[in-house]
Amino acid sequence: MAPIVVLRGDGIGPEVVEEGLKVLKAAARRYGIALEFTEALLGGVAIDATGDPLPEETLRRCREADAILLGAVGGPKWDTLPGDRRPERGLLRLRQGLELYANLRPVRVFPPLLDVSPLKRDVIDGADFMIFRELTGGLYYGTPRGIEQRGEEETGIDTLIYTTSEIARIARLAFQAASRRRKKLTSVDKANVLMSSQLWRRVVVRVAQDFPGVTLEHILVDNCAMQIIRNPRQFDVIVTENMFGDILSDEAAVIAGSIGLLPSASLGARGGLYEPVHGTAPDIAGTGQANPIGTILSVALLMRYSLKQE
Ligand code: IPM
Ligand code: MG
């Protein structure tokens, strides 16, 4: 097997990755799994070293890898760079370059941590769901995008665009996951306003025909944002577009108690990228306070999905 590419990134990234690697190596030793690692640069550290948040060399090595472990990217030092040269753009180009179109974010309450959440114990006890966030389409990548002068005004433009095949492939993965779980899929959209959401809903309904054992429901994103903290136990698998998934998954972290607890796996045609849901937390970087559980759980997902070591 190809080496696992380690991208420590910025801020607390290197610290949490270090802890994740300890667990990964210990588990590998215990179960006799041979692993090799190689380090590469992504984000602010890559900008400092090469001027590019995603150096060619990093993309090449990630393309050859079966699995990539990532900390987090970004920080105040690079915040004044123009949009397309920021550390975050490196991450977005990596997701796109590897066609990692499905971002899985499992949300679960750990019984010993029930009182860590600001939400009431009886609301969150037993909550256990999985968010499937579309990761390589929508507002993050749509064109035209930019800031341009239109008459008197500067105008900022982003494009929310989805094709049938982009929707169908993430829907299919979400249905498959639901059929292995409690057999309920909630598709989140804004079909009362957005055309892309109307297509989203239509395609999800079409894909549902191949999964008669799964109950499909549709929910508008604003209502979903409320339901996630009002009654999170109602959810099994959630599937949604890129931006809605970004926002809802931060919100869902409140159920687990802290954003430091949530892992993620980004999957596509082959390989996988594993990273905690949180950011670089520059305010606590280097102080040893960062919670590495999100990364450690990401390592567990890496074992499961890329190494097939349940
Ligand atoms: C996430 C992050 C990223 C995103 C940022 C860092 C670009 O918030 O993975 O949720 O918006 O996708
Ligand atoms: Mg986010």
66-99 pLDDT per residue, tens = 999 999 999 999 999 988 899 999 999 999 999 9
Torsion over CA: 178, 301, 138, 170 (sign): negative
> What are the residues whose beta carbon lies below 5 Å from ligand 2 (ion)?
246
Q: Amino acid identity, residue 300? A: A
- Residue having the nearest C-alpha atom to atom 8 of ligand 1: 246
124-159 pLDDT per residue, tens = 999 999 999 999 999 999 999 999 999 999 999 999
Residue 121 alpha carbon to ligand 2 centre in Å: 25
* Atom from ligand 1 closest to the CA of residue 91: 7
| DSSP track, 254-279 | HHHT-GGG-EEEEE-SS-EEEEESS-
Q: Which ligand is nearest to the CA of 9?
A: 1
- Tell me if 251 CB under 6 Å of ligand 1: no
Residue 210 alpha carbon to ligand 2 centre in Å: 31
Report, as residue numbers or ranges, the catalytic residues: 140, 190, 222, 246, 250
231-278 pLDDT per residue, tens = 999 999 999 999 999 999 999 999 999 889 999 999 998 789 999 999
